[in-house]
Structure 1
Amino acid sequence: GDAWHFCGASLYKENWAISAGHCVYGEDFNNPDYLQVVAGEHDMSVNDGNEQTSVLSKIILHEDFNAYYLYNDISLLQLATPVTFSEYVDVIALPEQGQQASGDCVVTGWGTLEEGGDTPNILQKVTVPLVSDSECRDDYSVDDVSDSMICAGVAEGGKDS
């Protein structure tokens, strides 16, 4: 059948990517080669030659992932074929363990541009301020915000992820 886009991921090595745990929850971890990563994608309606596709050889879901509350919502994806780094394909910078995050962050993806709207073909990016855990817990219930989460955005709404 035809392939379709359903989640984003970020490369951290030439053959490993990080994605949300809920993206792979319920998939066949023993035979993940029906799933693929497309690195270097920008406009999903056009094949501009910068894309590199690899099927998955391994999925690692965080051992404490909770599908209901989305606690520890992270997974690692091993690519069967390593990517070649280029102007369009590179790794993300990872923080040091225990590093405190502050300031603004850049969020990218193909999510809807308005509530209930269609998803765009072109990769989007938005800069949003990080919000402290305590402020986030004030805005949401304490049970909904765990230490493994990062809050970002503005209380008035608008740009978010």
Structure 2
Amino acid sequence: MKLFILCVLVASGFAVPPSTIPRSRSGQNKIVGGEDARPGQFPYQLGLYDVSGIPNEFLCGAIVYATDTMITAANSILEELVAGNLRLQYDDGTEQSRSVVQIIAHESYNVNTAENDIALLKVDSSLEFNTYVSGVTLPFQGQNFSGNAFVSGWRTLSPGGSTPGNLQYASVPIVDDETCRSFYGASAIADSMICAGDGNETTCKGDGGGPMTCGDYLCGITSFGYECNKFGYPGVKTEVVKSHENSISRDFNNTS
């Protein structure tokens, strides 16, 4: 079974050992079966960039939480982020760029199993919240989600495809743990994970660290999947309600 982490790890004051799971780290794809987002439709969506090259390269997704605190997957840490971005190749006049100055990864994050795949990013100066940039709402303790959720991000429709200029989004069905384990194996899906997607509309490589929202709440963070889920495999997300109730919750609670 060919699994992949949905983004590329670039150390920025944070280092983890390489994963022993054979997941591709090429980060070349996006929302499968998605459609163009409207300006301001997903004001919490962030893009993470590798600033080591010229020009800077978009690689991952992330999420606005507070003006100075962002959320992403622990495997999706990069040095620069852009809020208010809709079209990757254009300046819409709504973008706000910030540098990452502090990384707070979940202390129980396991790079081999992707359990607790969540991290907070502190930036060098606060974002200005407006129509195009604002924070997401965290779920309350014990909250459960079912039905459909929204995922969003940039990248191509299939491995090796072209990158769409516009932010994409899709509605995906939440899959119960038992069904998700029937695809990946009982030991691969931890209680700290939530699965969504049916192979028609889902996330793919390059969307790692991006949001899955259930109504007004951030219910998941894109983590990993199988072959862009082309065989009906659901995508696997970090279940925010369980991860932030853990030790990292004190860092959420201490944000401005």
TM-score scaled by structure 1?
0.87
- Compute the RMSD of aligned alpha carbons: 1.4
Q: Secondary structure at the match of 1:7?
A: strand
1:56 aligns with 2:106: no
1:88 aligns with 2:132: yes
Which residue pairs with 2:61 in the alignment?
A: 8
Shift of 1:121: 2.3
Shift of 1:139: 2.1
Q: Which one has the bigger strand percentage?
A: 2
Shift of 1:72: 1.1
Moved >6 Å (runs of 4+): none
Q: Distance in 2 between matches of 1:14 and 1:20?
A: 18
Q: Distance in 2 between matches of 1:118 and 1:148?
A: 33
Work out the number of aligned pairs and report it: 150
The correspondence of residues 1-161 of structure 1 with structure 2, limited to 5 A, is: 1-24=54-77, 35-154=79-198, 157-161=199-203
TM-score scaled by structure 2?
0.56
Q: Distance in 2 between matches of 1:106 and 1:91?
A: 16
Shift of 1:134: 1.3
Q: Distance in 2 between matches of 1:143 and 1:128?
A: 24
Shift of 1:68: 2.1
> How high is the sequence identity, in percent, across the aligned residues?
39
Q: Distance in 1 between matches of 2:155 and 2:189?
A: 22
After superposition, the Cα gap between the structure-2 partners of 1:2 and 1:105, relative to the gap in structure 1 and judged at 3 Å, is same
Shift of 1:44: 0.8
Which residue pairs with 2:251 in the alignment?
A: none
Q: Structure 2: any 5+ residue segments left out of the alignment?
A: 1-53, 204-256
Q: Distance in 1 between matches of 2:109 and 2:56?
A: 26
Aligned amino acid, residue 103 of structure 2:
I
Of residues 62-71 and 124-133 in structure 1, the stretch that sits farther from structure 2 once superposed is 62-71
Q: Structure 1: any 5+ residue segments left out of the alignment?
A: 28-34
